[in-house]
Structure 1
Amino acid sequence: MSETREFDVIMYGATGYTGRLVAEYLAQNYAGDVRWAMAGRSADKLAAVRDEIGAPADTPLIVADADDPQSLADMVARGKCVATTVGPYQLYGEALLAACAEAGTDYVDLCGEPAWMRKMIDKYEAKAKDSGARIVFSCGFDSIPFDLGIWFVQQAAKEEFGAPASRVRGRVRGMQGTFSGGTAASLKATMAAAAKDPEVVKLLLNPFSLTPGFQGADQPPGNTVDYEADIDSWVAPFIMAAINTRNVHRTNFLLGHPYGEDFVYDEMVLTGPGAAGEAAAKAVAGDNSLASEDGPKPGEGPSKEEREAGFYDVLFIAEDGDGNTVTAGVTGDKDPGYGSTSKMIAESAICLVRDVPDAPGGIFTPAAVMADPLIRRLEANAGLTFKRES
């Protein structure tokens, strides 16, 4: 970005539950280091949140509203990168993304809505390339630990095998915490869109929905209960796989297929061995609480104590054509949907501005544009670890 901008990062949606956590993280960790501002629809609410989170009294506040395109244009012109937590993005996100693509302003979000993401790719990728805007979807628990985890284990596979692995399994070994209300709202909005439009259904069912013009190898269905002898555990469907696998395939696509054009990847939850493991796997497979009316609501979330007690641990098993394997683990502190996610999106925004300033414009996944610089930043600042295990 050649011209000078007033702010490095603008946090849009700062009065929402997750946006407030992002603003708090920036205030606690980057005050005086990163030029950042809080943005939202109400100046009074922004000021109240600023005071509640202990941000400096002179933290800039920007009033902008998705229903007022000029206010969005004025806002994005002031920043190098806008981080947005205002979802579901298919309902509230397009105007901001369009403004960033037009102005050459970087953009990061927490989107896990593949049909909307594909629509935005088709509609705005050429504009982002022309303007130099780096639009990066899915900069939270979906899909950073998985997208970067695959990139990390593939580096280990190249060292071990001399070539990337053609097959990788992502297996969630442990997780404590809740999915965000935004995730639940996005799922419900996606289901509503699918009920109205058969094309949305096709995109949701296609593992390569985010790779326009490319259709790769058949992928595992991901909706079964099975026993995997090599790790002595039953496995069950993982609800975030529907977005994570699409982002991983888009990373491979954007980078020119370094994992191979026949790359196969799936994600499941480990539930343990024996009859207890089988029963747990079947219980996970039958759980649809995220889509129920009793699920988390946007703007709601766990207490600070619950966020602090959360964690996640994901195993990646990379296999070559001869059955040889190399494994790596990715862990995160705090609960995945809020505590860790708020740190990941903040570090993604700063990484774009500071660590990869010369990357070209376009619509990206985290690994496709930031990869190793983001891994280093997350390990140093955000409580994540990336470790080769075998």
Structure 2
Amino acid sequence: MTQRKFDVVIFGATGFTGRLVAEYLVAEYGSSVRWAMAGRSADKLAAVRDEIGAPGDTPLIVADSSDPASLQAMAEDTAAVITTVGPYQLYGELLVKACVAAGTDYVDLCGEPAWMHDIIRTYDAPARESGARIVLSCGFDSIPFDLGVYFLQQHAIKQTGAPLQRVKGRVRKMKGTFSGGTAASFAQTMARAAKEPEVINRLRDPFSLVPDFDGPRQPSGSKVIFEEDLNTWSAPFIMASINTKNVHRSNALLGHRYGEDFVYDEMFATGPGDNGEQFANMIANDKSMAENPPKPGEGPSKEERESGFYDTMFTGLAADGARLTAGVSGDKDPGYGSTSKMIAEAALCLVQNVDRSQTSGGVYTPAPAMGEALIERLETHAGLKFGMEG
């Protein structure tokens, strides 16, 4: 790639999450990264720039998701685009198309598997030709989970010479909220499914993001269960549907490093005993996301974001019967504070740490695109911790 004007452009910088990404770049990197803010209104961009304390000469780019020419010009000026403008099935495809045409790297926060299925089918081959790395799901869905499984499997292969055939991903603790964008994306996906019956099949199929592959039957994770091996009650986890699909795509893009018979599920572990069972049932019966979803453009206060956290584990039995467990944790609320840091680091990782001899063009998930390089950046800069336990 020839030298571009910018390392990174934040598209959607006047939105709630886009603004947090910009704040993070200002605080963490200052003037050491060449970055710009993009959105529909120059006045709003300037106001956000001033409010977050960004330098007065921070470049502002007027671009609109419905204006292909503005998106193409933006893509041609930067090495990577961060987009927080969703739902992506409404506002994302033209930007993907522009980045593919320009050979520009792209990262988003997408948790919309039907749209992702379409993007993979339509743009993977053109992206391979142009060199654009299109990396989907670079927020709480699905970086901690995708990289958590990757981290565990890398350790298992190194220690035992073989991957774990069965891995359980379990959220152990979490404080914070899901974003309004996540709720809007879910609503839009359901609306599309009502019109296109085949979308339901893609939502149900754990391998819908892996073209021409049909793996083994996977656990549904849809009911409260007691897990004897983990000594905990476990409840359905709302992000499991997208995270599990991304993990299976990562496995395929890694040449089925986890095995073609790999089985994976995600749930929320609530602990043993009556308290664990009650908590699990409370989670399973929670309808707040459907009945009172957060609105796009709104979010928690700084204090709420700062006090949030999450703690996840990934565990499985090796061939010799030994249990291997990895933990992944984050120091801010998952939907906003941690997500804004993760997507920023993903974009910078592509630009600064992963050249095209390591990861060529195509439509990716985080683990096969960036692997250890992204884990290192997240631990160094973004408040995440990865480690083996026990």
Map 1:1-390 onto structure 2 (within 5 A). Answer: 1=1, 3-292=2-291, 294-321=292-319, 323-358=321-356, 359-390=359-390
The separation in 2 between residues aligned to 1:118 and 1:365, in whole angstroms, is 12
Distance 1:325 1:63 in 2: 53
**Structure 2 residue matching 1:25: 3-state secondary structure:** helix
Distance in structure 1 (CA, Å) of the matches to 2:106 and 2:290: 28
* In structure 2, distance between residues paired with 1:290 and 1:94: 26
* Partner Cα separation in structure 1 for residue 368 and residue 317 of structure 2: 22
- Could you tell me how far apart the structure 1 residues matched to 2:342 and 2:260 are? 29
1:3-35 per-position Cα deviation (integer Å, ceiling 9, x unaligned):
111000000000000000000111111122110
Instruction: Please give the TM-score of this superposition, normalised by the length of structure 1.
Output: 0.98
**Secondary structure at the counterpart of residue 80 of structure 1:** strand
Aligned residues: percent identity? 66
SS in 2 for 1:217: coil
312-321 or 5-14: bigger deviation:
312-321
Task: Give me the whole-angstrom Cα distance separating, in 2, the residues matched to 1:335 and 1:344.
Answer: 12
Letter in 2 for 1:264: V
SS at match of 1:243: helix
Q: Distance in 1 between the 2:112 and 2:262 partners?
A: 22
Determine the C-alpha separation between the residues in 2 that align with 1:341 and 1:128.
25
Query: Mean alpha-carbon deviation: is it higher for 314-323 or for 264-273?
Result: 314-323
Matched position secondary structure for 1:269: strand
- How much has 1:323 moved relative to structure 2? 3.7
State how far apart, in whole Å, the 2-side matches of 1:127 and 1:342 are. Answer: 28
Unaligned 5+ segments in structure 1 are none
| d(CA) in 2 for partners of 1:30, 1:281 | 41
Deviations 1:27-78 (A, max 9, x none): 1111221100000000000000000000000000000001111011111100
CA distance in 2 between counterparts of 1:385 and 1:118 reads 30
Deviation beyond 4 Å, 4+ runs, structure 1:
none
Could you tell me how far 1:232 is from its partner in structure 2? 1.6
| 3-state SS of 1:246 partner | helix
Equivalent pairs counted in the alignment come to 388
Between the aligned partners of 2:295 and 2:251, the Cα distance in structure 1 is 34
> Match for 1:225: what amino acid?
V
Rounded Cα–Cα distance in structure 2 between residues aligned with 1:42 and 1:298: 18
Equivalent-residue separation in structure 2 for 1:155 and 1:123 (angstroms):
31
| Cα distance in structure 2, aligned partners of 1:155 and 1:121 | 26
User: What is the letter of the counterpart of residue 318 of structure 1?
Assistant: G
Q: Within 2, Cα distance between the matches of 1:115 and 1:124?
A: 14
For each residue in 1:350-373, what CA deviation from the matched residue of structure 2 results, as whole angstroms up to 9, or x when unmatched? 000010022200000000110100
Q: Deviations over 1:75-116 (max 9, x none)?
A: 110000000000000111111011101110000000000110
For 1:77 and 1:126, locate their aligned partners in 2 and report how far apart those are by CA, in whole Å: 20
Please give the per-residue CA displacement for 1:264-317, whole angstroms capped at 9, x wherever unaligned: 00000011111121121111111121122x210000000000000000000110
Supply the distance in 2 between the matched residues of 1:262 and 1:288 (Cα, whole angstroms).
34
Structure 1 contact 142–244 (Cα < 8 Å) conserved: yes
Match of 1:39, SS state, is strand
Equivalent-residue separation in structure 2 for 1:145 and 1:6 (angstroms): 31
TM-score by length of 2: 0.98
Say whether the 8 Å CA contact 1:160–1:326 is kept in structure 2.
no
RMSD: 0.9
User: What is the alpha-carbon distance in structure 1 between the residues aligned to residue 280 and residue 101 of structure 2?
Assistant: 46
| Secondary structure in structure 2 of the residue aligned to 1:57 | coil
Distance in structure 2 (CA, Å) of the matches to 1:319 and 1:117:
31
Q: Contact between 1:140 and 1:341, CA under 8 Å: does it hold in 2?
A: yes
Summarize deviations over 1:200-246 as a string: whole Å, max 9, x none. Answer: 10100000000000011110011011111222210000000000000
Retained in 2: the 8 A contact 1:328–1:386?
yes
In the aligned structure 2, how far is the partner of 1:232 from the partner of 1:201?
A: 34
The alpha-carbon deviation at position 322 of structure 1 amounts to 5.2
Q: 1:321: Cα distance to partner?
A: 4.4
Give the letter aligned to residue 268 of structure 1: M
